[in-house]
């Protein structure tokens, strides 16, 4: 087992608000996203497809970590819960935090698993979606 | 998209209508832009190879999108996706078809909601499940 790459600084970030992002659900955003995933369902002109929360409202593939991490990144998957449909015109706010670190030896060498949670609310403060995702850094 | 699916129409073992996608390098670029997932392993072959990957790979999140679309197409406008769990197990390469599939594993009523649990997965040409998962959906009742 290689030495742990989890530092005290990293531990200090656990369960703290990491950042807060805001999205206005606009027509163009909905259209571009539906075109990219090639889902022609006309419903998504007015409503946010749930898979937007697994994509555009997930943080980008290259996350700005507030600490040093191994350089290579894979998306390990995640779980999403949906409470209320988000609609055109809504403003969504996501609050993110890291909740757990795990380490494993695998095919790609020493792998660090960073598990993060995000909670999304709308402009009325209603809970819209929750996410728990794993990034694999190696 | 098609006729509305109702709770009464589904039994354990019911197959979800499969969805076939053929992600191209162009789609990966569009998805990178739309999702702001700019990890170069999805469009820069040299970077992907130097990261130890077999070539540029399909975004795990694009597969998430396919798995959710197979469900939203199936449950119709009155259905609601309550939860989905997805693991990225295997890599898919652009230029190869990905079939999203699922089956119903359980149906039950809880707190007045008609709930359906499903297994879902993306499948490559060899029949391997590259992104398996589980989902919970709510359906309207005919009653």
ipTM: 0.92
DSSP H helical ranges for B11-139: 25-35, 45-50, 60-75
What the block records as the tokens of B44 is 């820069």
Q: Tokens 């988000």 identify what position?
A: A86
CB atoms within 10 A of CB A59: 20
Looking at the complex, does the CB of residue A77 fall below 8 Å from at least one CB of chain B? yes
Signed CA dihedral, B98, A107, A2, B56: sign only: negative
What the block records as the tokens of B82 is 């309550």
Tell me B95's DSSP state: T
DSSP H helical ranges for B21-120: 25-35, 45-50, 60-75
pLDDT for res A93: 93
Looking at the complex, does the CB of residue B121 fall below 8 Å from at least one CB of chain A? no
Q: What is the pLDDT averaged over residues A93-114?
A: 92
In angstroms, what separates the C-alpha of A125 from chain B's closest C-alpha?
A: 19
Q: What is the pLDDT averaged over residues B55-69?
A: 96
pLDDT for res A63: 60
Looking at the complex, does the CB of residue A78 fall below 8 Å from at least one CB of chain B? yes
DSSP H helical ranges for chain B: 25-35, 45-50, 60-75
Predicted confidence (pLDDT) at residue A126 exceeds the cutoff of 80: yes
Name the residue in chain A with its Cα closest to that of B20. Answer: A38
pLDDT for res B92: 97
Q: Which CATH architecture has domain B7-22+58-138?
A: Roll (3.10)
Looking at the complex, does the CB of residue A56 fall below 8 Å from at least one CB of chain B? yes
Q: Which of 3.10.129.10, 3.90.1150.10, 3.40.1180.10, 3.30.2130.10 is the CATH number of A8-137? A: 3.10.129.10
Tell me A44's DSSP state: G
Predicted confidence (pLDDT) at residue B1 exceeds the cutoff of 60: no
Choose the closest CB to B84 out of A61, A79, A108. A79
Q: Determine, for residues A50 and B68 on separate chains, whether the beta-carbon distance falls below 8 Å.
A: yes
Ordered by start, the domain boundaries in chain A are: 8-137
At B59, is the secondary structure helix, strand, or coil? coil
Q: Tell me what percent of the residues of chain B surpass a pLDDT of 70.
A: 99
């Amino acid at each position: 087992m290689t030495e742990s790459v989890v530092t005290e600084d990293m531990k200090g970030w656990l369960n703290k608000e990491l950042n807060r992002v805001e999205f206005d659900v606009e027509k163009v955003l909905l259209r571009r996203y539906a075109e990219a995933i090639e889902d022609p369902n006309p419903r998504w002109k007015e409503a946010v497809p749930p898979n937007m929360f697994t994509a555009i409202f997930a943080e980008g593939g290259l996350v700005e970590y507030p600490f040093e991490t191994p350089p290579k990144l894979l998306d390990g998957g995640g779980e999403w819960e949906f409470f209320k449909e988000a609609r055109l015109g809504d403003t969504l706010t996501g609050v993110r935090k890291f909740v757990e670190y795990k380490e494993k030896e695998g095919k790609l060498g020493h792998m660090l698993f960073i598990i993060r949670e995000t909670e999304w609310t709308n402009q009325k403060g209603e809970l819209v979606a929750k996410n728990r995702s794993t990034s694999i850094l190696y | 998209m098609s006729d509305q699916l109702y709770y009464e129409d589904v039994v354990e073992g019911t197959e979800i209508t499969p969805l076939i996608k053929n992600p191209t390098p162009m789609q990966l670029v569009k998805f990178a832009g739309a999702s702001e997932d700019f990890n170069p392993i999805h469009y820069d072959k040299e970077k992907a190879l130097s990261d130890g990957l077999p070539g540029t790979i399909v975004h795990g999140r694009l597969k998430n999108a396919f798995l959710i679309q197979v469900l939203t197409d199936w449950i119709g406008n009155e259905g609601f996706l309550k939860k989905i769990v997805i693991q990225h197990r295997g890599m898919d390469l652009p230029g190869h078809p990905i079939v999203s599939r699922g089956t119903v594993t359980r149906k039950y009523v809880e707190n007045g909601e008609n709930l359906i649990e499903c297994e879902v997965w993306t499948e490559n040409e060899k029949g391997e499940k590259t992104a398996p998962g589980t989902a919970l959906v709510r359906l309207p009742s005919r009653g």
